[in-house]
Structure formats: structure tokens, C-alpha cells
């Protein structure tokens, strides 16, 4: 089980919860399970998100392992200039 | 890929050799976008809308098509529909379909045998418009009765009942705001405005397209990412990516502004219809009117602080507009605004609204300067009111390892405290000021990114090496990549040449953006070099007749690893390369990766100004940048990035702004009226490069290209406000705005 912290806008899809628990050992598993558990999040996840795992921001890293107890933060898909 | 060893001694990394593109550029040999030519080439020209918002009733191109020398005419109807919404939006910025959405929106294009004929033919096209009400200001665009720019583009989390121009909202933060503000001795709430600034690159957008009868095409263009150009253009043209080869020219500046396309699909379609190569070069007027500036912003910021300078809470509402199409930049600004501080309670709420302006495109640290400007200005005003030192106050609140950031991530090793300490220790901070002068300080933050990257490194038979990468070099990356290859291989920098390959020669590379190239391409280069070294060690082992595992690479040569491996003299890279054909064939290393692990970066800027109380003219008299580079691979280039970002931020703070008239048309589409700073406007920008290694890179590299544009808006504002004795809440601080504030109007 991984605790995922969401950004505030997304609380409307998780009954007001900013931290949600989902199964998953990798980046993709966590996102897939988030979409399944909270379908309201699915459009945003499909458009693109990042996951910060213990402070490191990952984008599109499907197989990035996520250990139980890791700090996992859902972020918008990040881009720069 | 983790940091190798923080105490590693570098031989080549950290030196400042001459730039490999220098001779070509100073002798005029370098080929930029407009320099590319082909036999039989036609010249293109684009007809643009004079209306900020109008329905296109009809386009009559018959007269233009009948003109001698005209070979092709293109309108929006020539492009197939595209399913991908992002690509479709980009396509519509290149050529309008049913509506024009901003002053300068392309409606038709011509290819002709000469530029004069192309321009004349443009004038012969008859377009009937049905003008619609327009809106160019973000606050007005959010009003319920505002003219609607595009319908049905709001994301699912935007509350119902708002103007259809509101397409996105976001909220970040943590803690109990009410409790935080209750603990404050001083609470200030201020509103700020930030004008839209253009990236101001000197080279206008330009390309040359050649579409062959067999369906294959070549495209040469100035771009920050030719692989992205290929992806967009092949989609918009309805062709397979493999049939479109894109080659990046040398680039005369980008700063984020060349991370998309504006003329390339049009040139390709003109070439397809005419059967001839077509060149399209934007005029400066066109660059201003129809290539993306930044978002413009309206910000409300509220901060609570104790008498001794501890921030107890921060709350900010950001309203950004990225022009006539939805933009995600608000999310970056909302996350970055308070990121430099350790805040017990913080919230940033962001909104995006459509306006009748060109589609925003990235500009160094997109979204961050606007948000950080408000925070850093307000902190400075609170320091003034409470009689606090602005550096000590920032140090007291600085984010550090273990801080829960305002965007939800707990920081690892970061450089906020170090950059503040460097600024505090710099002689600039304690230098005396004269009459009408003021000093401002501000901090800034940026995320930095990695991304998709491919590098191929070939060992040549003469003992030199060639590195092939896929990111246009806008900030000196060929030198930095060569330095990292030299470091790994153990051969001199001058024995390595790094080139930027076309899209047919490498796998996909993300754009040169996000401060990613030295970090990500550097990482891939190091891995490619290590792969080549592995091959060279294997070859040496085979020649020595020992196990491959018994060979290691030291200072440019294979050597037996320990006394049990046998006694052989070191075999240099040149010796192994010279025998490569006999020992198994050419030697190369490759690495393909989607890199993560970019380290966040902080910067602190000090600015001195002198304001003429009679005219409101501001002269920047001294400026210092302290920034964390992780590891400065080529310190001169790092310094250049820091200086360049500061200068662009100074321009934004004092002069640069898109000004729209009541008619919705851009009033200052040229460098005379949109004035960027020139050398004579500026002092030397002093720099302090700090090196707090990024744990996610073998040498500790962090990106440096974007952070330096984040602090200047507030640093200059704080200096001007202190110089005139009144606070400024809008950038740019043009002389009339300063005079209005001085006079108390």
C-alpha cells in the first residue's frame, strides 16, 4: 500500500481526502490503481501527471519502483522552457 | 543514475575551453534558419488577421493564384483534422480555420518565385471577416459576461458557472491557514500585475521545407527541439514520422520560445502543393504578433509574519492567461511561488483564462517569475514595515533539507540557504548607496527536468571521439557534452567533437528546455562513454589474453586491475582504437533513456538601481547573481546563463510588455517599442556559482538555464520601491508607472 498525496484541486474526486492509499509497487501500478479507485482522477492522469517519489520527480517512468513507506506526491506533468 | 563521488577530482569538467561553434559564428559561417537554401526554392509569405477576434466568412484566393510567379496558396482547409488536441491547437496557431483568435493570426499563405511576388499575392487575397467582441486582459476574461474566446475547453475540475474562458484551476499547499495567520503579528495582502513578455530571441523563426513527390520531406528550421517539430508536423501533415526528416539549424536564441512550431507546417504544405522547396522567414513584426510570449498575470498575495520575521502563513491566488488556447503554465507558477520557504501553512490557488492573444509558449521557468515576483515583493514590504533585514528574514524561513515544500514534496539537499549566505557575504550586499538609489534582493526557485535522450559516442580509429546527440545547442551544450565525454574517456577536450544530429539519425530527444541538456544529455553521454570504455577494456583484455573483468580504465587507458591480472603496460585509447578493425570492429557506446532525477535549483539576486525622480527612468547600477549549479561543467557558460537570465528579467521588470489597444491589436510589435535591455543599459552582472551536488547525476549537475529569470522581477521591484520610498505592484515598471507612484496617484 502506498500513500499518495494529491494536489488540492483533485480532492473533489477523492471525497475531500488529500492523501489516499492505493496498492502498487511501480509508477504505473500506482497511477492505474488511482484511476481505478477514484475514476474522477482518470482524465487528469490520462492527460499527464508526474510522481515525486522521495523527492525525485518522475515523468512517464512506468517501471520506477515505489517502496512501501515512500513519500509519493502526485504532481501535474512538469515542463520547462 | 546516482552521484558518483562528491569528492571526485575533475580533469576537464570545470574548465572553460573555447566554444566549438565560436569560429563559425564570429566569421558568419554558421547556418541559421534563414540561411538554408535549395535549388528551385520558393519564398513564402503569410496573410494575418487584422482582427483580434472574428469569424472567417470567406477567403478568396483566386486573384492571388492567377498572379505570375505564384506557385501555391494554403489556407486552413488544406490541413487534415488532427485527433490529438494539443497538436490540433498548435496547428490552429499556425493557420486559422473558422475563427481568428488574435491580431496576427495566420489565415493564408503564399509560395512564389520571389519575396516581392509573395507579398503582392498576399495583398491580393480577399478575406471577409465577421468581427466578434474581444478580450485581452485576464481579469476581464474571467468575468461571467466576457466575450468567449473558445467554447467547451474547460477541464473537468473547473467549477460550473464560470466564464467559458476559464479553462483550468489548481490548488497546492498544506497546513492550517487560519491558524497560521492567527499567529502572525503582521498580515499584508497585495495585488500584483505582470505583463506578458516575449522571449526576445534575436533570430526570427525561419525554416525551409522540401516535400518530394514520393511523399518524403525534409525540413530545416531553427528550433529548440527538432524531434518535437517532426512529431507535430508529421501529425499536422498526415504523414508518417519516418518520412519527415528534420534538421535543426544553428539557433539565435530561444529561451523556451522555440519549443513549438509557427511556420514549419505551413512551409511543408506550401512545398507539398507547389512541388518546390519553400522558405518561410518571419519578420520581427510577425514574431511579436504571432509567436508566443509568456502568460500575463494578475496575482493576489497574502502573507502573515511574526515581529521577528517568521512567516506563519501564505495564501496566493494566481490568474494567468496564455492567450487564445488552454495553457498549463498556471500549475508551474502555483507550485513554484512559495517553494523557496519553509511554511507551516501555505496555499496557492491558480486560474487560467483564455484571451484574444497569441498562444503562450514557454519562457525560461514558465510561470514561476510571475508568482515568485508577488511573494518576494511582499516579503520585502513586510521586512520594511517590521524593520527586518531582508536576507536574515529569508534565511530564517529558507527551505532546506527536510522541508515540506509548498508543492508537497519533501526537499533533499538543496541550495537555498547557501545562495542566501553567498549573497549576504558578497561585498555588494554591504556597499553604500547614493541619493535616489535603492537595493533589492529576491530569491527564486525552479524545478529543472530530464527527459528523453539518446546519445551515440564513436571511438575513431585515430584515437579521437565523436559524440552524436539530438538537442539543439542554445547555451553551449556541445562544449559541455564534449567536456563530460573527455572526463570519462580520459582524452583531451580538443580530441572530441559533439554534433547535433537530425531526426533520422537518433532516437527521440525531448526539446532543449527545462534546463535539461547538460543534466540529461550529459548523463547519457557519460553512460555512452562508459559503454565504449567497457568495449575498449574487453578489447585490451583479449589482446592481453586475460579476463575482461581483470581490466579497468584509468586516465584514458586500459590497465590490468591489480597484480593478479598480469603485468602489462597501460594501453591507451588511441592504441586500442588503432587496432579496433583487427580486434572486432568499430568501437562505440550508446545510451538511450528517459532521464529523471533532475535537482531543483535556487538563486538569489541583489539589484541596485538609481531612479530619476523627475522622469521615473531607472538605471540598474549594480547586479549580483548567486545560484546553485550542482556542478558547473563549463563555468563560463554557467555564468552566461545566470547573466542572461538576469538581464532578461531586468528587461521584464523595467520595460518589456505586450501592450494591447482598446481595439485588441498589439501596439508595440517591434524592438523600438518593445524595448529589451542592451549592453549600454546594464552594469556587469556579477555571479557567484555554488555547487551543491545533485544526487541524481554522476557529476552532481543541476540545470542552470531557467532559475536566473525567476528572482529579477522582485529584485528590481524591491530596489525601485526602496529607492522611491513607495511600493510598486506592477511590472514592467515603466517610467510613467514609476512617476504615477511617486506622485501618489
The band of A79, judged by pLDDT with boundaries at 50, 70 and 90, is confident
* pLDDT > 90: percent of chain B: 97
Contact in structure between B361 and B291 (CB atoms under 8 Å): yes
Helix axes B226-237, B264-274, angle to 10 degrees: 50
Place of cell 538601481: B609
Q: Please check the confidence at residue B254 and state whether its pLDDT lies above 80.
A: yes
- Cβ-nearest to A75 among B171, B407, B446: B407
The per-residue pLDDT for B528 is: 98
Strands (E) across B504-554 are located at 551-554
What is the number of domains present in chain B? 3
* Contact criterion met (CB < 8 Å) for B335 and A75: yes
Angle, vertex CA B514, rays to CA B590 and CA B165, nearest 5: 135
Q: Which three cell numbers stand for residue B604?
A: 538569489
Q: Of the residues B595, B621, B652, which one is the last residue of a structural domain? A: B595
Q: Please check the confidence at residue B1 and state whether its pLDDT lies above 70.
A: no
Tell me what the pLDDT averaged over chain B comes to.
97
Nearest of B658, B619, B731 to residue B377 by alpha carbon: B731
Helix axes B368-386, B390-397, angle to 10 degrees: 120
Q: Does any CB of chain A come closer than 8 Å to the CB of residue B223?
A: no
Residues B643 and B734 in one domain: yes
Calculate the alpha carbon distances from B581 to B460, B461, B491 in Å. Answer: 11, 8, 20
Residues in chain A within 8 Å Cβ distance of B328: 76-77, 79
Residues B470 and B558 in one domain: yes
Q: Please check the confidence at residue B745 and state whether its pLDDT lies above 70.
A: no
**For range B386-404, the mean pLDDT:** 98
Q: Please check the confidence at residue B2 and state whether its pLDDT lies above 90.
A: no
Handedness of CA B719, B720, B724, B728 (dihedral sign): negative
**For range B101-110, the mean pLDDT:** 98
CATH code, domain carrying B423: 3.30.365.10
* Contact criterion met (CB < 8 Å) for B408 and A5: yes
Q: Which three cell numbers stand for residue B220?
A: 530545416
CATH code for the part of the protein at A2-76: 3.10.20.30
The band of B599, judged by pLDDT with boundaries at 50, 70 and 90, is confident
Residues B107 and B246 in one domain: yes
Q: Of the residues B271, B290, B309, which one is the last residue of a structural domain? A: B290
The band of B343, judged by pLDDT with boundaries at 50, 70 and 90, is very high
Q: Which three cell numbers stand for residue B581?
A: 578493425
Task: Evaluate whether residue B330 is within a structural domain.
Answer: no
**For range B265-270, the mean pLDDT:** 98
* Contact criterion met (CB < 8 Å) for B449 and A57: yes
CATH code, domain carrying B265: 3.90.1170.50
What would you measure as the largest C-alpha separation in chain A, in angstroms?
36
CA B617 to centroid of chain Cα atoms: 29
The per-residue pLDDT for B563 is: 83
Residues B582 and B722 in one domain: no
* Measured distance CA(B717)–CA(B25) in Å, rounded: 36
**DSSP-assigned letters across all residues of A11-80:** GGGTTT-SEEEE--SBHHHHHHHHHHH-GGGHHHHHH-EEEEETTEEEES-TT-B--TT--EEEEEPP--
Task: Evaluate whether residue B320 is within a structural domain.
Answer: no
- Cβ-nearest to A76 among B328, B349, B449: B328
Q: Please check the confidence at residue A78 and state whether its pLDDT lies above 90.
A: no
Residues B542 and B629 in one domain: no
* Measured distance CA(B521)–CA(B469) in Å, rounded: 7
The pLDDT tens digits for B686-736 are 999 999 999 999 999 999 999 999 999 999 999 999 999 999 999 999 999
Q: Of the residues B264, B290, B316, which one is the last residue of a structural domain? A: B290
Task: Evaluate whether residue B267 is within a structural domain.
Answer: yes
Contact in structure between B109 and B46 (CB atoms under 8 Å): yes
Q: Chain A residue closest to B293 (CA)? A: A81
Please tell me what DSSP assigns to residue B208: E
Q: Which residues are bridge partners to B457 per DSSP?
A: B467, B589
Q: Please check the confidence at residue B134 and state whether its pLDDT lies above 70.
A: yes
Task: Evaluate whether residue B215 is within a structural domain.
Answer: yes
Per-residue HEC secondary structure of B434-495 comes to CCCEEEEEEEEEECCCCEEEEEEEEECCCCCEEEEECCCCCCCHHHHHHHHHHHHHCCCHHH
Residues B126 and B239 in one domain: yes
Closest approach of A36 to chain B, Cα-based (Å): 17
Residues B274 and B206 in one domain: yes
Closest approach of B716 to chain A, Cα-based (Å): 22
Q: Please check the confidence at residue B10 and state whether its pLDDT lies above 80.
A: yes
Q: Please check the confidence at residue B6 and state whether its pLDDT lies above 70.
A: no
Task: Evaluate whether residue B168 is within a structural domain.
Answer: no
Q: List, as ranges, residues 269-328 from B with C-beta within 8 Å of A.
A: 328
Instruction: Look up the domain containing B659 and give its range.
Output: 416-442+599-745
Residues B531 and B627 in one domain: no
Residues B658 and B583 in one domain: no
Residues B719 and B615 in one domain: yes
Q: Which three cell numbers stand for residue B329?
A: 503554465
Closest approach of A72 to chain B, Cα-based (Å): 8
Q: Please check the confidence at residue B37 and state whether its pLDDT lies above 80.
A: yes
The pLDDT tens digits for B433-470 are 999 999 999 999 999 999 999 999 999 999 999 999 99
Q: List, as ranges, residues 587-616 from B with C-beta within 8 Å of A.
A: 594, 596-598
Q: List, as ranges, residues 14-33 from A with C-beta within 8 Å of B.
A: none
Please tell me what DSSP assigns to residue B111: E
Strands (E) across B31-79 are located at 42-48, 54-60, 70-75
Residues in chain B within 8 Å Cβ distance of A40: 156
Q: Does any CB of chain B come closer than 8 Å to the CB of residue A69?
A: no
Q: Which residues are bridge partners to B628 per DSSP?
A: B690
**For range B352-363, the mean pLDDT:** 97
Backbone φ, ψ for residue B412 (5° rounding): -90, -145
Q: Does any CB of chain A come closer than 8 Å to the CB of residue B586?
A: no
The pLDDT tens digits for A9-49 are 999 999 999 999 999 999 999 999 999 999 999 999 999 99
Residues in chain A within 8 Å Cβ distance of B411: 55
CB neighbours of residue B620 within 10 Å: 24
The pLDDT tens digits for B530-550 are 999 999 999 999 999 999 999
The pLDDT tens digits for B513-526 are 999 999 999 999 99
Q: Please check the confidence at residue B629 and state whether its pLDDT lies above 70.
A: yes
Backbone φ, ψ for residue B432 (5° rounding): -70, 155
Task: Evaluate whether residue B78 is within a structural domain.
Answer: yes
**DSSP-assigned letters across all residues of B133-202:** -----HHHHTSTTSPPSSSS---TTSPTTS-TTEEEEEEEEES-HHHHHHT-SEEEEEEEEE-------S
Task: Give me the sheet containing B244-248, strands edge to edge.
Answer: B70-75, B106-112, B42-48, B278-281, B206-211, B217-221, B244-248
Residues B485 and B626 in one domain: no
Q: Does any CB of chain B come closer than 8 Å to the CB of residue A60?
A: yes
Residues B466 and B567 in one domain: yes
Contacts of B716 (CB under 8 A, 6+ apart): B440, B607, B609, B618, B620, B649, B650, B653, B654, B731, B733
Q: Chain B residue closest to A76 (CA)? A: B331
Task: Give me the sheet containing B99-100, strands edge to edge.
Answer: B99-100, B54-60, B126-131
Residues in chain A within 8 Å Cβ distance of B703: 80
Helix axes B712-724, B735-742, angle to 10 degrees: 40
* Measured distance CA(B387)–CA(B384) in Å, rounded: 5
* Contact criterion met (CB < 8 Å) for B156 and A8: no
Residues in chain B within 8 Å Cβ distance of A80: 256, 362, 365-366, 446-449, 513-516, 703, 706
* Contact criterion met (CB < 8 Å) for B335 and A9: no
Q: Does any CB of chain A come closer than 8 Å to the CB of residue B331?
A: yes
Segments making up each domain of chain A, as ranges: 2-76
Q: List, as ranges, residues 165-194 from B with C-beta within 8 Å of A.
A: 169-173
Total residues belonging to chain B: 745
- Cβ-nearest to A8 among B171, B412, B446: B171
Amino acid at each position: 500500500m502506498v500513500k499518495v498525496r494529491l494536489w488540492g484541486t483533485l480532492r473533489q474526486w477523492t471525497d475531500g481526502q488529500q492523501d489516499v492509499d492505493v496498492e502498487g509497487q511501480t509508477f504505473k501500478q500506482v497511477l492505474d490503481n488511482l484511476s481505478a479507485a477514484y475514476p474522477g482522477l482518470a482524465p487528469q492522469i490520462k492527460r499527464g501527471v508526474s510522481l515525486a517519489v522521495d523527492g525525485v520527480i518522475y515523468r512517464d517512468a512506468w517501471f520506477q519502483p515505489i517502496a512501501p513507506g515512500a513519500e509519493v506526491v502526485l504532481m501535474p506533468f512538469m515542463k520547462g522552457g | 543514475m546516482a552521484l558518483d563521488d562528491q569528492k571526485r577530482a575533475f580533469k576537464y569538467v570545470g574548465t572553460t575551453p573555447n566554444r566549438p561553434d565560436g569560429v563559425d559564428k564570429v566569421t558568419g559561417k554558421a547556418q541559421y534558419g534563414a540561411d538554408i537554401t535549395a535549388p528551385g526554392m520558393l519564398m513564402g509569405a503569410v496573410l494575418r488577421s487584422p482582427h483580434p477576434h472574428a469569424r472567417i466568412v470567406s477567403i478568396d484566393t483566386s486573384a492571388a493564384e492567377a498572379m505570375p510567379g505564384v506557385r501555391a496558396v494554403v489556407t486552413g482547409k488544406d490541413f487534415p483534422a488532427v485527433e490529438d488536441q494539443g497538436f490540433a491547437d498548435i496547428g490552429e496557431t499556425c493557420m486559422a480555420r473558422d475563427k481568428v483568435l488574435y491580431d496576427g493570426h495566420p489565415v493564408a499563405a503564399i509560395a512564389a518565385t520571389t519575396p516581392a511576388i509573395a507579398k503582392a499575392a498576399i495583398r491580393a487575397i480577399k478575406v471577409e471577416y465577421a468581427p466578434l467582441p474581444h478580450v485581452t486582459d485576464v481579469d476581464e476574461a474571467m468575468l461571467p459576461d466576457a466575450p468567449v474566446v473558445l467554447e467547451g475547453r474547460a477541464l473537468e475540475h473547473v467549477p460550473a458557472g464560470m466564464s467559458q474562458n476559464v479553462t483550468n484551476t489548481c490548488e497546492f499547499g498544506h497546513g492550517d491557514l487560519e491558524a497560521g495567520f492567527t499567529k502572525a503579528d503582521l498580515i499584508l495582502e497585495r495585488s500584483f500585475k505582470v505583463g506578458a513578455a516575449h522571449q526576445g530571441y534575436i533570430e526570427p523563426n525561419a525554416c525551409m521545407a522540401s516535400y518530394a513527390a514520393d511523399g518524403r520531406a525534409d525540413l530545416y528550421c531553427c528550433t529548440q527541439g527538432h524531434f518535437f517539430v517532426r512529431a507535430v508536423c508529421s501529425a499536422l501533415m498526415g504523414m508518417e514520422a519516418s518520412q519527415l526528416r528534420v534538421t535543426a539549424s544553428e539557433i539565435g536564441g530561444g529561451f523556451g520560445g522555440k519549443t513549438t512550431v509557427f511556420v514549419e507546417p505551413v512551409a511543408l504544405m506550401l512545398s507539398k502543393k507547389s512541388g518546390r522547396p519553400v522558405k518561410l522567414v518571419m519578420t520581427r513584426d510577425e514574431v511579436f504578433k504571432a509567436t508566443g510570449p509568456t502568460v500575463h498575470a494578475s496575482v493576489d498575495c497574502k502573507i502573515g509574519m511574526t515581529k521577528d520575521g517568521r512567516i506563519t502563513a501564505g495564501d496566493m491566488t494566481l490568474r494567468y492567461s496564455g492567450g487564445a488556447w488552454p495553457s498549463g503554465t498556471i500549475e508551474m507558477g502555483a507550485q513554484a511561488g512559495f517553494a523557496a520557504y519553509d511554511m507551516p501553512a501555505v496555499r496557492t490557488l491558480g486560474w487560467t483564462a483564455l484571451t484574444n492573444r497569441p498562444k503562450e509558449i514557454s519562457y525560461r521557468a514558465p510561470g514561476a517569475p510571475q508568482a515568485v515576483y508577488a511573494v518576494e515583493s511582499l516579503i520585502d514590504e513586510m521586512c520594511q514595515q517590521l524593520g527586518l533585514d531582508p536576507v536574515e528574514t529569508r534565511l530564517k524561513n529558507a527551505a532546506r533539507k527536510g522541508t515540506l515544500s509548498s508543492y508537497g514534496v519533501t526537499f533533499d539537499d538543496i541550495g537555498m540557504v547557501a545562495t542566501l549566505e553567498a549573497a549576504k557575504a558578497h561585498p555588494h550586499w554591504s556597499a553604500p548607496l547614493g541619493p535616489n538609489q535603492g537595493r533589492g534582493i529576491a530569491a527564486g526557485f525552479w524545478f529543472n527536468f530530464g527527459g528523453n535522450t539518446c546519445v551515440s559516442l564513436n571511438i575513431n580509429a585515430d584515437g579521437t571521439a565523436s559524440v552524436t546527440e539530438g538537442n539543439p545547442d542554445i547555451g553551449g551544450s556541445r562544449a559541455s557534452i564534449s567536456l563530460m565525454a573527455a572526463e570519462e574517456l580520459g582524452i583531451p577536450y580538443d580530441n572530441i567533437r559533439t554534433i547535433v544530429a537530425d531526426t533520422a539519425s537518433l532516437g527521440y530527444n525531448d526539446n532543449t528546455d527545462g534546463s535539461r541538456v547538460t543534466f540529461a544529455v550529459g548523463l547519457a553521454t557519460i553512460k555512452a562513454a562508459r559503454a565504449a570504455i567497457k568495449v575498449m577494456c574487453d578489447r585490451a583484455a583479449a589482446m592481453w589474453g586475460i579476463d575482461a573483468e581483470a581490466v579497468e580504465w584509468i586516465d584514458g587507458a586500459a590497465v590490468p586491475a591489480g597484480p593478479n591480472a598480469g603485468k602489462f603496460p597501460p594501453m591507451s585509447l588511441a592504441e586500442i582504437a588503432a587496432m579496433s578493425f583487427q580486434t572486432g570492429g568499430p568501437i562505440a557506446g550508446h545510451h538511450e533513456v528517459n532521464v529523471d532525477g533532475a535537482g531543483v535549483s535556487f538563486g538569489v539576486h541583489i539589484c541596485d538601481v538609481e531612479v530619476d525622480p523627475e522622469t521615473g527612468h531607472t538605471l540598474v547600477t549594480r547586479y549580483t547573481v548567486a545560484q546553485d549549479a550542482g556542478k558547473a561543467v563549463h563555468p563560463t557558460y554557467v555564468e552566461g546563463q545566470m547573466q542572461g537570465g538576469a538581464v532578461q528579467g531586468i528587461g521584464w521588470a523595467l520595460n518589456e510588455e505586450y501592450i494591447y489597444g482598446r481595439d485588441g491589436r498589439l501596439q508595440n510589435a517591434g524592438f523600438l517599442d518593445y524595448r529589451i535591455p542592451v549592453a549600454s543599459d546594464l552594469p556587469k552582472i556579477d555571479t557567484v556559482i555554488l555547487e551543491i551536488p545533485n544526487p541524481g547525476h554522476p557529476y552532481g549537475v543541476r540545470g542552470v538555464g531557467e532559475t536566473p529569470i525567476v528572482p529579477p522581477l522582485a529584485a528590481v521591484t524591491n530596489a525601485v520601491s526602496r529607492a522611491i520610498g513607495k511600493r510598486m505592484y506592477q511590472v514592467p515598471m515603466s517610467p510613467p508607472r514609476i512617476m504615477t507612484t511617486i506622485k501618489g496617484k
